[in-house]
Amino acid sequence: MPKIIAAAPVVPPYKLTQKEIREFANIHFAESELPVERLLEVFTNSGIEERYFAVPIDWYRQERTFLEKNEVYIKSSCELGERASRDLFEISGCKPEEIDYLVFVSTTGLATPSIDARLINILGLRGDIRRTPIWGLGCAGGAAGLAHAYHYLLGHPRDRVLLVAVELCGLTFQQHDFTKSNFVATALFGDGAAAVLLAGDEVGTDGVEMLGTQSTFWPDSLDVMGWNFMNSGMQVVFSRSIPAIVEAKAKSNFDEFLSGYSLSLDAIEHFILHPGGAKVIGAYEKSLALKNGKLDICREMLRRYGNMSSVTVLFVLAEHIARYAKSDQLAVISALGPGFCAESLLVRL
């Protein structure tokens, strides 16, 4: 079976505490018609203590064009993607010329040539490398990238795959959008990147064994999560119903997935889930009847980094690898995204 060999998470240079961002939001939204004083409780209840961003906080105090935001996106994505990849090469001992396939995941900016093409030049990857940029899967993108690599490696058991995910959620902040969604996004989202090395079973390297995947799409749910495209950039869309959807759908979705392997939820020791927010984590716990700190690592990553869209689940994965590698325990990796959809994998640590 294909294996996850190593994962390397990185963050951009500007660290902000939740208190600092709360003060920014209090001032920025003061003249809006929103009930700002009441909404500020979102910062307190978010479970987030700090986040990282590609630009300093003063950058957000003035209006920015889509062009300005996207120029920062391209530059920062290349820098973070390179850092994560070089960290990964150092951790794993893999050399850039040994990579056969590059998968790049992002949904917070645009680039053609895509960021993966730029990383091939920056990292000195081979000229015959295959590559696939994955765009538009939002928070589900990290898990989907892993699944994409898994299915490729089933047919190419001698190959190595480099998965790079970069999300610069902060750049999508709309300075003149005084909606509740934009306010709540200010309390949740951060920037980050991660690189993951995967290999086919003939490579002969130890790692996290990948046993299978499942994609789930819920029809007529396009309005749950996504972007509106404005002249000033990308405007976040996410429904307040997401925790309720998780509570209602998670168990049946996981039961269906695991039944294909003659397993039940009781067989799963670790849940490597995208921590979209404190309420989402709580909804997973309630739906799946999880106790004894099963989602402590998810909460820890949310507390330390906020919601970094597709990247976050890879941070959770990296922490599980660091703590539980070679434990021979089953885990489920899963994340939700626009569509509305879920991407899930069954692995053995």
Positions annotated as catalytic residues are 139
Measured distance CA(336)–CA(349) in Å, rounded: 22
Helix or strand or coil: residue 97?
helix
Place of tokens 């994965």: 317
- Name, in order, each residue with C-beta under 8 angstroms of 172's C-beta and a sequence gap of 6 or more: 69, 108, 185, 189, 227, 233, 234, 235, 236
User: For residue 252, what are its two tokens?
Assistant: 């049946």
The radius of gyration of the chain from alpha carbons, rounded to an integer in Å, stands at: 19
Residue 168 and residue 77 in contact, taking contact as beta carbons nearer than 8 Å = yes
Measured distance CA(106)–CA(66) in Å, rounded: 17
Measured distance CA(262)–CA(103) in Å, rounded: 31
φ, ψ (nearest 5 deg) of residue 31: -90, 5
